[in-house]
Amino acid sequence: MFRILSLVLFLTGAAVAAHAADVYRYVDAQGGVHYTDTWVPGSTLIKVDHGPKASEAAAPARTAQNRPLSAGDRASTDVAKAADERAVKADVAQAQEEQCKQAKDSYTKAVASRRIIKSGTDTQREYLSEADANAYRLQLHDAMQAACGTDSK
């Protein structure tokens, strides 16, 4: 009897774990914000959802006693979902703002510099030609417009 009860509890726990839909947020090396359902080193857990299976989601929401959820329960669920959506939008907006700031800083520094040094591994400095420097500045300008929008200056 004890073995059967243990088996039932184990299977119930495994079923609950299988339907977990956690959301993780991480920022890549270029500053881009990403969301995933699998843990990545350096990511933070932003949402834990142990909701119903997809087949159950199509049916009306039910409580443990097989009754429909009350209007208050549905409203609190809707409020929680809206708060999660606002948090994700705020994270995305913050990441876009940071990318825009970095792109503006890079472009401003390149425009203010008379000469631009090539990136290299040796200790000797090599400077870009005037044409290459202008092409580099143009790339930074395009990157700034992509990050900030076309009307950024």
Q: What is the pLDDT of residue 63?
A: 46
Q: Check whether residue 57 and residue 109 sit in a common domain.
A: no
Q: Check whether residue 143 and residue 103 sit in a common domain.
A: yes
**What's the structural domain count of the chain?**
2
Q: Check whether residue 57 and residue 97 sit in a common domain.
A: no
Q: What is the pLDDT of residue 141?
A: 92
Q: Is the pLDDT of residue 114 over 50?
A: yes
Q: Check whether residue 92 and residue 146 sit in a common domain.
A: yes
Q: What's the pLDDT band for 6 if we cut at 50, 70, 90?
A: low
- 35, 87 contact by CB (below 8 A): no
Q: Check whether residue 56 and residue 96 sit in a common domain.
A: no
Tokens of 39: 């843990």
**Is residue 50 domain-resident?**
yes
Q: Check whether residue 52 and residue 94 sit in a common domain.
A: no
Residue that finishes a domain, picked among 11, 27, 62: 62
**Is residue 49 domain-resident?**
yes
Distances (CA, A) of 55 to 19, 46, 62, 139: 12, 25, 13, 49
Q: How far is the C-alpha of 94 from the C-alpha of 101, rounded, in Å? A: 11
**Is residue 67 domain-resident?**
no
Span 80-85, mean pLDDT? 86
Which residue, chain included where needed, has tokens 């299977």? Answer: 11
CA-angle at 44, arms to 15 and 37, nearest 5°: 40
Q: What residue numbers bound the domain in which 32 lies?
A: 19-62
**Is residue 5 domain-resident?**
no
- 152, 100 contact by CB (below 8 A): yes
Q: Check whether residue 54 and residue 95 sit in a common domain.
A: no
Distances (CA, A) of 75 to 54, 86, 105: 21, 16, 45
Whether the full predicted model's pTM is greater than 0.75, yes or no, is no
